[in-house]
Amino acid sequence: MLLKKEEEIKGIPVFQKVLETARGGFSLDITGLTKGDILPAGTPMSYDGAIRKAKKANANGSDVKGLLYVPVKIEEDATVSIVTRGTVYEKRITGGVAEAIKSKLPLIIFDDSF
């Protein structure tokens, strides 16, 4: 059996309080993403609970269901957790979050403090 060494990605915490994540973990769908890059915490995400796959949400937010809990390196078999209810430090999210996406996440509070 081969053991895979997990690489911890450090950074400033993005979430002030996490009240709920989508049940179970998800495999990251890397279609359209660059292997080796880092997907930062707070990235808007979509997921399919039936097949346990998650992907980066569309830019317009039409499929957004939550925010990425911790940063993840984009690679085959990467696992992710998605926050569906909680409080996030909005200014700490790389690239920010569009108003169209925020409006589709009513259970997430976007705090202006840093």
Contact 47, 82 (CB under 8 A): yes
Do 47 and 67 touch, CB atoms closer than 8 A?
no
Cβ neighbourhood burial of 85 (10 Å; 0-12, 13-18, 19+): middle
**For residues 6 and 19, which has the higher predicted lDDT (pLDDT)?**
19
pLDDT, one tens digit per residue, over 20-47 is 999 878 999 999 999 999 999 999 999 9
Identify whether the C-beta of residue 57 lies closer than 8 Å to the C-beta of residue 63: yes
Identify whether the C-beta of residue 40 lies closer than 8 Å to the C-beta of residue 94: yes
pLDDT, position 12: 85
pTM: 0.89
Do 45 and 66 touch, CB atoms closer than 8 A? Answer: yes
For 57-106, what is each residue's pLDDT tens digit? 999 999 999 999 999 999 998 999 999 999 999 999 998 999 999 999 99
